[in-house]
Amino acid sequence: MTDVSGAPADVLHTLFHSDQGGHEQVVLCQDRASGLKAVIALHSTALGPALGGTRFYPYATEAEAVADALNLARGMSYKNAMAGLDHGGGKAVIIGDPDVVKTEELLLAYGRFVASLGGRYVTACDVGTYVADMDVVARACRWTTGRSPENGGAGDSSVLTAFGVYQGMRASAQHLWGDPSLRDRTVGVAGVGKVGHHLVEHLLAEGARVVITDVRQEAVRRIADKHPSVAVVADTERLIEFDGLDVYAPCALGGALNDASVPVLTAKIVCGAANNQLAHPGVEKDLADRGILYAPDYVVNAGGVIQVADELHGFDFDRCRAKAAKIFDTTLAIFARAKTDGIPPAAAADRLAEQRMHEAARTPVG
Ligand SMILES: NC(=O)c1ccc[n+]([C@@H]2O[C@H](COP(=O)([O-])OP(=O)(O)OC[C@H]3O[C@@H](n4cnc5c(N)ncnc54)[C@H](O)[C@@H]3O)[C@@H](O)[C@H]2O)c1
């Protein structure tokens, strides 16, 4: 997947003339009364209605907002395809600082724009938007997920996201060591927030040795107080060089795998929840060259989107958990394809996702 960036003319050129874009529809939304300025980008509806969250962010320029919406929407097509969902990829961005401009009036206006697409786009939470915001958007638009349980939603998605990452990690162990068990393996978790701390619980339950780090001391303390066996290191730099580390799980911010971290990483597997772990194209090859198995981020962290998709049909935790458990098989299939094609797993995941979208687009419906 290649990034879209630059001035409006470049963005339009990418959209209509480059094989890196290929988006179906981009909607620019403005509501002067509430101050809403938003971009809704639909990359593909080949597999079904486009599904992806709403990012609320103070973009420096409108062109930057459009470029971000296009990139994120494209990413969702791949993520939803590999999660086995009957959903295409879309994403929306609302321009502005959510702490300053977010109001009920603005969210309702946004909901009306999403509703105007008649179900071609289903929205959810992302950076800067929360379950409570989706409850408001849902009052204006039925194609809204990520709502609170009181409003028919599934609530916090981090439980199933962590479960999916854990399944991806077991599949990685199976591929590399011939056994999915993480018992007595040493796993380093960078970022023990909502997803990371649930992941730690899975790992401890299986008998893994766990090492953690987080910039927030209260997040570290929450785990260390409950589980004295968990080792704590001061920062991510120390974690990635930890002696005897078998698995590295980035569960904080993007860009964890970069020119500084990959050469010194002691782990043999990388599998974590963070989005956009590869800092730039080429890092996936650097990992492969060092013999490090990388479980593609958007595949193993799909538990959250599996949950919001399920919410559309009336959320059922067990059904959803069963779907998230399939991340194990999907991850193995990616490693197998990578081996057959002689490419890194990140590229194999892209190929498999493209194949599914391509085949669905050719299948007559009805
Ligand atoms: N929540 C979900 O369902 C979900 C789904 C898919 C992907 N993700 C991704 O997973 C990651 C974690 O999500 P979350 O919901 O747990 O977020 P979170 O904010 O609850 O947790 C992130 C944790 O990382 C810590 N952190 C930040 N910078 C750090 C650093 N430099 N070193 C160490 N720790 C650092 C934070 O203090 C925090 O405790 C994010 O990248 C998110 O985009 C989350």
**68 alpha carbon to ligand 1 midpoint, in Å?**
20
37 annotated active-site: no
Catalytic one of 79, 91, 268, 323: 91
- Same CATH topology for 2-76+89-151 and 158-305+311-355: the answer is yes
**pLDDT for res 19:** 60
Q: Which residue has a Cα nearest atom 5 of ligand 1?
A: 304
Give residue-wise pLDDT tens across range 126-183: 989 999 999 999 999 999 999 999 999 998 899 999 999 999 999 999 999 999 999 9
Pull the structure tokens for residue 107.
């969210």
Q: Which residue has a Cα nearest atom 10 of ligand 1?
A: 274
* Cβ of 134 below 6 Å from ligand 1: no
Q: Tell me the pLDDT of the chain (366 aa) as tens digits.
A: 545 565 666 667 766 766 667 899 999 999 999 999 999 999 999 999 999 999 999 999 999 999 999 999 999 999 999 999 999 999 999 999 999 999 999 999 999 999 999 999 999 999 899 999 999 999 999 999 999 999 999 988 999 999 999 999 999 999 999 999 999 999 999 999 999 999 999 999 999 999 999 999 999 999 999 999 999 999 999 999 999 999 999 999 889 999 999 999 999 999 999 999 999 999 999 999 999 999 999 999 999 999 999 999 899 999 999 999 999 999 999 999 999 999 999 999 999 999 999 988 666 655
Nearest ligand 1 atom, CA 254: 41
Q: Which residue has a Cα nearest atom 18 of ligand 1?
A: 193
Residues 179 and 173 sit within 8 Å (Cβ to Cβ): yes
Measure the CA–CA gap between 348 and 30, rounded to whole angstroms: 39
* Cβ of 321 below 6 Å from ligand 1: no
**107 alpha carbon to ligand 1 midpoint, in Å?**
25
Residue ranges per structural domain of the chain: 2-76+89-151, 158-305+311-355
Q: Which residue has a Cα nearest atom 2 of ligand 1?
A: 158
* Cβ of 216 below 6 Å from ligand 1: yes
> Which CATH superfamily, name and number, covers 158-305+311-355?
NAD(P)-binding Rossmann-like Domain (3.40.50.720)
Q: What global pTM score does this model have?
A: 0.91
Q: Find out if CATH 3.40.50.2000 is the number for domain 2-76+89-151.
A: no
DSSP class of 365: P
Measure the CA–CA gap between 24 and 28, rounded to whole angstroms: 14
Measure the CA–CA gap between 78 and 74, rounded to whole angstroms: 7
Nearest ligand 1 atom, CA 297: 7
**273 alpha carbon to ligand 1 midpoint, in Å?**
8
* Cβ of 261 below 6 Å from ligand 1: no
Residue 191 annotated in ligand binding: yes
Instruction: Identify which of 251, 276, 320 to mutate to test ligand 1's pocket (most ligand atoms within 8 A of the CB).
Output: 251
Measure the CA–CA gap between 298 and 301, rounded to whole angstroms: 5
Measure the CA–CA gap between 138 and 132, rounded to whole angstroms: 10
Measure the CA–CA gap between 137 and 111, rounded to whole angstroms: 5
